[in-house]
Amino acid sequence: MKIIRTKNYEQMSRKAANIISAQIILKPNSVLGLATGSSPLGAYAQLIEWYKKGDLDFSAVQTVNLDEYIGLTPDQEQSYHRFMYDNLFSQINIDQRNTYIPNACAADLSAECKRYDHLIKSLGGIDLQLLGLGANGHIGFNEPDEIFKKGTHVVHLSLSTREANQRFFSGIEAVPDRAITMGIFDIIQADRVVMVASGANKAEAVRDAFFGPITPKVPASILQFHKDFTLVADDEALSLVGEYI
Ligand code: GLP
């Protein structure tokens, strides 16, 4: 595991964008695993800026997103389909047909989960997976659990996750209580994994995930095993582990 320490969110975003852009330059047809939430937004904005300057070409890139809320349609503002379209896909030259997000409106959700796992395999796996970190240690929507769930699955969101995400909704009651998420094995099978973490509200999760035992109770802790995992985190997110790095 590598840790890149930055002063603040802006620096964190720039470092993460540098890693992603190096990946695209070295392998123009990369399969990128993408995340939503506030943490990767700055990196997406930086990638858009470099694309507009002519430094990046997304025409051969394919993307698979981690997760989607069940109960929202793709055009609804809080859906992760809309998030990705608004904050990245609509502003770069990616072929929209090469962007994949779980279909949480599927009539048969367990068939959709299987389809998504097959899709990832059929793309040849993920070259670089970008992750945020839930305050309770979740990745994608893999919530603290007794076991590590392997493949794409339907998950019941914890109250703490719904509370953390209610800022994007009119209130907690509007936050869906279920989602489809890639599983832990989907994530750790990526060749490279890059996580962005910023702010004091992530400090406990960073400490527990990367300086404590590997346990499904802290899903991100599995990344300690990964052969090419980089945590890009700012001073506040690293404030409880500063003496160890
Ligand atoms: C959601 C997403 C995660 C994300 C997490 C943290 O639960 N499903 O992929 O990492 O939120 O979000 P934020 O970056 O906004 O703190």
> Could you confirm whether 77 is annotated as catalytic?
no
Which pTM does this prediction carry? 0.97
* pLDDT higher than threshold 80 for residue 245: no
**Mean pLDDT score of the chain:** 97
Nearest 5°: CA angle at 136, between 101 and 67? 5
Average pLDDT over residues 156-170: 93
Average pLDDT over residues 126-149: 96
Choosing from 80, 165, 181, 195 the residue with most ligand 1 atoms within 8 A of its CB, the one to mutate for a pocket test is 165
- pLDDT number for residue 168: 92
| Predicted confidence (pLDDT) per residue in 45-67, tens digit | 999 999 999 999 999 999 999 99
Phi, psi of 144 (to 5 degrees): -50, 135
Residue tagged 């367990």 (tokens): 110
The answer to whether 193 touches 155, Cβ cutoff 8 Å, is no
225: nearest Cα among 187, 197, 181, 182: 187
Choosing from 133, 160, 201 the residue with most ligand 1 atoms within 8 A of its CB, the one to mutate for a pocket test is 133
> Could you confirm whether 136 is annotated as catalytic?
yes
- pLDDT number for residue 14: 98
Q: Residue 201's CB: how many other CB atoms inside 10 A? A: 12
Sequence-ordered list of residues with C-beta below 8 angstroms from that of 53, at least 6 positions apart, any chain: none
